Structure 1
């Protein structure tokens, strides 16, 4: 029976690039990801601990499964598309309540993906990108969601959970802008989360680790439908 020491869940609307972010981190390359049905998971080793990362479906018809996959989660990555304001609203309106089944002291990250598609992407600078984009660049669009919006949501989330901001990482450290296509900030995102959740286990050795039984996981294999950045 395979078990993980700690669970991390990725939530967000369809086509914000949740699967592509995980693929970029685990496979070290960009792969157009098919729409996930149910959930898919990946196991990662981090400092002698096993972390399961769950990539959940964003479609409305699978919404009810989200709270099941969040059960016992030590961290939740709330993902939106920086070119789509509605995708940020969906986090607040549809996905926050799904995290009620996570651990009471669950960590949260708010992540804006698809930074490479925005018309201000050039301002980031080539030296800060982790990998060049091999294909012809896509037409640029106006950025609709800014990091300040993500920080506001993060603070709102802590209030919703009735959590003291002093007990959690500052918002600026837990709000990321990423590009699954180029790899920008993807390693930083996942490794920040892994470091924090594993440190939590080490700091509180008597606390239940909420190990995850992967043998009986439901819908863990993604089906194919459409791709996203």
Structure 2
């Protein structure tokens, strides 16, 4: 977690939701620290502050354990984007998103963007076992180049692969069609027009925190999509600037003293 005394004020909030052991924390570490870390279950919640171009985005990692379930709606309050995460090798983790976690997003912004993310794709798809540089990301690319805003690209969910040359792949329990169907139900739950909303093929991802597969595409696509929320929020703050109470008190004191006999 960043040093609060040196932390810049975030422009928007992005929240990760999902059952325990789906890899939410590992996804966040892969994106922020450019490496995979074996992690323990998150207690309560934690966040990173990401500087993306001229903007600051807070990314919240929430606990998936049942005893911390009630905190989820608090962390989602005012969120501009929610990443609903499941494990592609665990059907129940997808079902839990609809049964337990979707209602927590009621406190998010009315124009909140939702992404469905199936993590651990390296266990089912040989393409996800490739390191990021093999997928077209140069090893010598700088962090500044990585964080520059760019035009979002569609990241279609890769199809299931039943076997690999080594024969070590696990059975894939959640197909891309299952995730797309849930995305449609999320839009209906939120009362959103499916025709006017972002399509499932653009908002359903499969990732691997272990290899980095599709992780950058996930976060940077979302950052591009929340840009209108950032600009609108900044515009509202300019129109309604906050009042410095200390300055106000100082003016009031001077006036009081000047009228005193």
Say whether the fold is shared (TM-score over 0.5). Answer: yes
How far apart, in 1, do the equivalents of 2:27 and 2:89 lie? Answer: 16
Residue-by-residue CA offset, 1:8-54 (whole Å, 9 max, x unaligned): 00000000000000000001011111210000100001131110000
Match of 1:219 in 2: none
Seen in structure 2, the aligned counterparts of structure 1 residues 143 and 195 have a Cα distance that, compared at 3 Å, is same
1:8 is matched with which residue: 14, 38, 59? 14
Seen in structure 2, the aligned counterparts of structure 1 residues 203 and 69 have a Cα distance that, compared at 3 Å, is closer
Match of 2:31 in 1: 25
2:177 is matched with which residue: 132, 143, 148? 148
Seen in structure 2, the aligned counterparts of structure 1 residues 194 and 168 have a Cα distance that, compared at 3 Å, is same
Contact 1:107–1:168 (CA<8 Å) still a contact in 2? Answer: no
1:184 is matched with which residue: 199, 213, 216? 213
Seen in structure 2, the aligned counterparts of structure 1 residues 21 and 125 have a Cα distance that, compared at 3 Å, is closer
CA root-mean-square deviation: 2.3
1:95 is matched with which residue: 96, 101, 124? 101
Number of positions where the alignment pairs a residue of Structure 1 with one of Structure 2: 202
How far apart, in 1, do the equivalents of 2:100 and 2:127 lie? Answer: 33
How far apart, in 2, do the equivalents of 1:8 and 1:192 lie? Answer: 12
Structure 1 runs not aligned, ≥5 long? 132-136, 210-229
Higher helix proportion (structure 1 or 2): 2
Q: Equivalent residues in 2 for 1:1-229 (5 A)?
A: 2=7, 3-118=9-124, 121-122=125-126, 126=130, 127-128=134-135, 139-202=168-231, 206-207=235-236
Larger RCO: 1 or 2 (CA < 8 Å, sep 6+) = 1
Choose 1 or 2 for highest CA Rg.
2
How far apart, in 2, do the equivalents of 1:179 and 1:90 lie? Answer: 20
**Any idea what SS the aligned residue of 1:111 has?**
strand
Contact 1:8–1:76 (CA<8 Å) still a contact in 2? Answer: yes
How far apart, in 2, do the equivalents of 1:110 and 1:63 lie? Answer: 19
